[in-house]
Amino acid sequence: MFDDRTEAGTRLGERLAAEGVDADIVLGIPRGALPVARPVADALDAPLDVVVASKLGAPGNPELAIGAAASDGSLWLNDDFVDELGVSSEYVERQREVEADAAYQKAMQYRDDGRLPELAGRTVVVVDDGVATGATAIACLRQVRDAGAERVVLAVPVGSPTSLAQLEAEADAVIALETPSHFRAVGQFYRDFGQVTDAEAIAYLDTES
């Protein structure tokens, strides 16, 4: 159980530093990951920026992620969910356009041109406040990889063991402080898991030295 995202990020940063992770840049996934990513970036003495994706909800059940679209328009789908639910390709494409645009607009709030920073040949640590389905994390990791990153590390305080195992195929390393077998939602592992506003999240970037 973590007190809040900042405490979780402090512990995560200590773990990464102890494991000798040498990051060129840390990317948090807005909004909730920024309070976690700030102390991680500080611990690794690396600049902090963002990588953005938006999940695609299932028809009639928007909270069930069938995939995620990144701010560059790329898409990751959970093919098993799509097949099981009988989701049409037309629905997927409509939602991809909607969510890719939402992700791009979000990225524009955090940086002037909405684009990722230069990542070619760099070691990138992607931070989230936790992993449930992993849809958003996969879309973000693929966006970072497509941008030419040489090494990609996913770091989270807590995550579903099943989802984290899937994410090991997307990153060069996956580091999680806690992998509880009885995982229902990320928030159950935080005493304080309040909503983070965009203004609050952006402020973590503004403290960058």
Q: How far apart are CA 55 and CA 75, in angstroms?
A: 10
Q: Tens digit of pLDDT for each residue in 142-168?
A: 999 999 999 999 999 999 999 999 999
Cut 0.75: pTM above it: yes
- Residue ranges matching CATH 3.40.50.2020 in the chain: 5-51+118-206
CATH architecture for residues 54-110: 2-Layer Sandwich (3.30)
Residues 6+ apart with CB under 8 A from 44: 13, 16, 17, 21, 22, 23, 26, 125
Quick one: CA dihedral 165, 175, 118, 68, positive or negative? positive
Distance of CA 64 to the CA centre of its chain: 17
According to CATH, the topology of domain 5-51+118-206 is Rossmann fold (3.40.50)
Report whether 144 contacts 119 (CB < 8 A). yes
**What angle do the packed helices 89-110 and 198-206 form, to 10 degrees?**
50
Residue 208 has pLDDT above 80, yes or no: no
- pLDDT tens column, 65-107: 899 999 888 889 989 889 999 999 999 999 999 999 999 999 9
Instruction: List, by residue range, all CATH 3.30.1310.20 domains of the chain.
Output: 54-110
Contact present, 207 and 38 (Cβ < 8 Å): yes
